[in-house]
A = this chain, B = another copy of it.
Amino acid sequence: MNILILGGDGYLGWPTAMYFSNRGYDVTVVDNYFRRNACTELDVGMLYPVPTLVERAKIWHELTGKEIKVVIGDLSDPEVMRSLFSGTVEYSWALDRKFLGIPETVIHYAEQPSAPYSLINYKYANITLTNNLLVTNNLMFALRDFSRDTHVIHIGTMGEYGTPNIDIPEGWIQIQRNGRKDTFLFPRQAGSLYHTTKIMDTDLMWFAVRMWDLRITDLMQGPVYGMETKDSMIDDRLRTIFNYDEVFGTIINRFTVQAIVDYPLTVYGKGGQTRGYLNLNDTLQCAHMAEKTPAQKGELRIFNQIMETFSANQLAEKVQRVGKAQGYDVKIDHIENPRKEAEEHYYNPTYQGLIDIGVEPHYLTDEVLAGMFQVAETYKSNIRKDVIFKGITW
């Protein structure tokens, strides 16, 4: 099986590449180093340096004998996207430079993934908008023109739903009105411009599925935590990119690092904001199970990709408790909310579909958190307190 991973250098992309490579898939990764370049530009820190994608592919090959083909290129350029399906692609690194063939599955992570980044100012808003939508649109048209059978697994976000006052289904809702009924995408309304681009991805994908009978699975993911996967444990140089800053660091990852350097946990406002979370290892499982049971032609299949829900306060208390048990004096600070969001709200999403196709959830246990503390502690000397909180407001 031939699998193409767009955004293969990112927090999810590289672990996904190793995961599928280890299971016998032919894997190609594509990235333009957006995340690394943005981290440099914004001066936000990574917990440890990470080798280039080409270097990581070489290390992976050395250690496992397996090949992950690498393309360094900007997928918002339609010609780069199309080359991956037309066969004109030039690999930046590969053992065998012959075209691997049209992929059976594409995993699409190639988006600017940060809410604060998208709202730094109008320029970053436009970068987010054009990058995310052009990549998705280029993918839709490449599939239309070259391969309507390829299964796309797209990473959406639970943030597309916002925090409505009714239960959140998995993507779809039947509406009855004046004695008639029809099934629709559950109405979406997000809390950041980044999250809004994910809604717009859904608009594009739903159009493409209806027009061209594409097959797409949209994984509505919650914030991911964790730094290790089974595949990365063989060598520290295979660890994924790990941010602990406000821009690219997700909340549990950030809190763990803050706890270690005695930086009070930054709970925004009242801290009643409830979201669904999942372990990095479960992201890989979800992609794998989605790949094994592809969507039908003409189907936009949507799963809510979370394993449990917590409020910001619950997360802070968990990190505090586990940190204290490890000897850290963890403080919690309720800072003025830089975002415009409900700090107390109803939240009841369904998340059953992925379990039904075989995903076995991991949970945020004290042991898991303690493991994260241990890895982060190893890199403590790299942590820059000055980049943890920038205070980007909207």
Contact = CB atoms under 8 A, between A and B. Distances in A.
Contact of A189 (B122, B137, B145, B210): B210
A394 interface: yes
Contacts of A181: 165-166
Q: Which of A133, A145, A203 has the most CB of B within 10 A?
A: A203
A23 interface: no
Contacts of A182: 164-166
A234 interface: no
A156 to B, nearest CB: 14
A196 B189 contact: no
Number of chain copies forming the complex: 2
A180 B165 contact: yes
Contact of A340 (B122, B176, B204, B211): B211
Contact of A207 (B176, B187, B196): B196
Interface in A187-228: 187-190, 192-193, 196, 199-200, 203-204, 206-207, 210-211
Given A133-B133, A180-B165, A203-B200, A78 B187 contact: no
A175 B193 contact: no
A129 interface: yes
A54 interface: no
Contact of A175 (B187, B207, B210): B187
B166 A138 contact: no
A13 to B, nearest CB: 23
A123 interface: yes
A184 B164 contact: yes
A126 interface: yes
Contacts of A206: 189
A126 B138 CA distance: 8
Contact of A126 (B134, B184, B207, B210): B134
Interface in A99-131: 121-123, 125-126, 129-130
A133 to B, nearest CB: 6
Contacts of A188: 203
A346 B166 contact: no
A43 interface: no
A176 B173 CA distance: 11
A203 B199 contact: yes
A223 B280 CA distance: 49
Contact of A78 (B123, B133, B189, B193): B123
Interface string A315-331: 00000000000000000
A193 B133 CA distance: 12
Contacts of A180: 165-167, 346
A-B interface, 6 closest residue pairs, ranked by CB to CB distance from nearest:
A184-B187, A122-B141, A165-B182, A166-B177, A200-B200, A166-B180
21 contacts: A82-B122, A122-B138, A122-B145, A125-B141, A129-B134, A130-B133, A130-B134, A164-B182, A166-B176, A166-B178, A166-B181, A167-B178, A173-B187, A180-B346, A184-B189, A185-B189, A188-B203, A189-B207, A190-B203, A193-B207, A200-B200
Interface of A: 78, 82, 121-123, 125-126, 129-130, 133-134, 137-138, 141-142, 145, 164-167, 173, 175-178, 180-182, 184-190, 192-193, 196, 199-200, 203-204, 206-207, 210-211, 340, 346, 394
